[in-house]
Amino acid sequence: MANYSKVSVTSDERTELHDKLALTGAEISVNTLPAGAGVPFVHSHKNNEEIYAVLSGKGKAVIDGETVELSAGDWVRVAPAAKRQFFASEDSAIKYVCIQVKENSLEGYTQDDATVY
């Protein structure tokens, strides 16, 4: 078996990559909200922080009651306990990646963890 996994992400509303890539240390999803739509629930986590990367469009996140405007190129890290909900703007869809990892689990950065051949 190869030491890598590859998958193509189509324009589905939500694609979870955990099973598709056999991830063992992170949960990653690619999400699209149409103009005027929002995630239908507020949520938080017990252990996992989330990192959001806005790929296209614009919208907002409401995090612990604070509105954070979002547009393509923005990155947002949200602590586990924070209550969050995401929305597309009324006139634009938003496409974003959500990376979920256990808070404080990073033991080394790329340069510390890499082996150069």
Model pLDDT for residues 44-80, shown as the tens digit of each residue:
999 999 999 999 999 999 999 999 999 999 999 999 9
**115 belongs to a structural domain:** no
**35 belongs to a structural domain:** yes
What CATH number should be reported for the domain holding residue 65?
2.60.120.10
**12 belongs to a structural domain:** no
Q: Is 90 exceeded by the pLDDT of residue 116?
A: no
Indicate the number of domains in the chain: 1
**56 belongs to a structural domain:** yes
Q: Which domain holds residue 38?
A: 21-103
For 5, 17, 108, 113, the CA distances from 39, given in Å and listed in that order, are 29, 19, 33, 36
pTM for this one? 0.89
Query: Which pLDDT value is given to residue 44?
Result: 97
Distance CA(105)–CA(59), nearest Å, equals 30
Give the chain's mean pLDDT: 93
**16 belongs to a structural domain:** no
